Amino acid sequence: GPRRPRPFVPVNSAALSEALLESQLFGHARGAFSGADRARPGLLAEAEVCRGRFRADLYYRLRVICLRVPPLRERMEDLPALAAHFLAAAAQGQAKELDPEALDRLLSHPWPGNVRELENEMRRVSLLSGPVVRPADLSPELSRATPRARLGDSRRAWEREALRSALEAAGGNKSEAARRLGYSRFGLRKKLRRVGLV
């Protein structure tokens, strides 16, 4: 037929979960989920919608929301809250917290493995550290990292903002904010005092 030279892109949507179908159609970045070892263009891109070979009205009917989530290295202000959340989840009820110097080492790392690398690091240290995670407890590439100059002040500001945001999202309810962050209510009060939010 007249479309013979154009790409034919088959997909068995019945055999795929909703999340996997979305990835197949719209593509994904490296590290977006388990097994995403490289970036992959979606089937819609392969069908060259920009060249008029895929119906634009169908494309826009399927493309409801397009979100760009920047990699962790571009939003280091999120790292203290993410690290605390992953550490609390991995510790399963044990009281664990990051020493300020250990957090400075985390903030100095470029995180090529993105948020998944941070999560795995927090799982590892939850098993191998005492109640306070110190620089020596971190993976070798992190424990040897040179902390950024005067990073403690920036870290406190980021932690303060993360706590303020959690409180705001919880409507001022400290118990709910603590639950969202993975802290006990007492642990949250202690952190609020430390960053001057009490």
All residues at 6 or more sequence positions from 33 whose CB lies less than 8 Å from its CB, including other chains? 19, 23
**Segment 97-118, tens digit of pLDDT:** 898 899 999 998 989 889 999 9
pLDDT confidence tier of residue 33, bands split at 50, 70 and 90? low
β-strand pairing of 132-133 with 40-41: unpaired
Give the mean pLDDT of the chain: 81
Band (44; pLDDT cuts 50, 70, 90): low
The pLDDT tens digits of the residues spanning 150-168 come to: 445 566 777 888 888 888 8
Exposed/middle/buried for residue 66 (C-beta within 10 Å: 0-12, 13-18, 19+): exposed
